[in-house]
């Protein structure tokens, strides 16, 4: 079994709260790979990478369902890098993420202009 870390360290490394990590586990979005005999969650580096991916999707407005689709495709590609279906899924999300980022960039530019104009008043 790969080296594991406890939920507190995962929270520190990902910037996600303990509550959020538990919620993601409960809904099956990003579950830890193992548990101690006492029931404490144990995460692998792969689990942490999944959580970081989810955290980066959140500000772009992706739904939990969409996040799950990305994680599932990433898991498929980890086992079979040539899987065309999983690759197509990730490429679709990549295009969507780029479009969402461009929209955020336009919104940020508009906010900068507003701030500049307010300073002149």
pLDDT of residue 88: 98
Which of 72, 61, 69 is closest to 97 using CA atoms?
A: 61
Q: pLDDT tens digit string along 14-39?
A: 999 999 999 999 999 999 999 999 99
pLDDT of residue 1: 63
- Pair type for strands 41-43 and 34-35: antiparallel
Identify the architecture of domain 5-120 in CATH: Orthogonal Bundle (1.10)
The pTM for the full model equals 0.85
Can you tell me the distance from the alpha carbon of 44 to that of 121, in angstroms, rounded to the nearest whole number?
54
Residue 2's pLDDT band (cuts 50, 70, 90): confident
pLDDT of residue 27: 96
Q: pLDDT tens digit string along 61-104?
A: 999 999 999 999 999 999 999 999 999 999 999 999 999 999 99
């Amino acid at each position: 079994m790969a080296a594991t870390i406890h939920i507190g360290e995962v929270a520190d490394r990902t910037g996600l709260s303990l509550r959020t990590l538990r919620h993601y586990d409960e809904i099956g979005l990003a579950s830890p790979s193992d548990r101690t005999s006492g029931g404490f969650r144990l995460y692998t580096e792969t689990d942490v990478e999944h959580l970081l991916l989810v955290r980066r999707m959140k500000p772009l407005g992706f739904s939990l369902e969409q996040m799950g689709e990305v994680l599932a495709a990433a898991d498929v590609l980890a086992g079979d890098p040539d899987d065309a279906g999983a690759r197509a899924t990730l490429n679709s999300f990549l295009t969507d993420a780029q479009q969402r980022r461009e929209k955020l960039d336009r919104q940020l530019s508009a906010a900068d202009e507003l701030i500049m104009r307010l300073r002149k008043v």
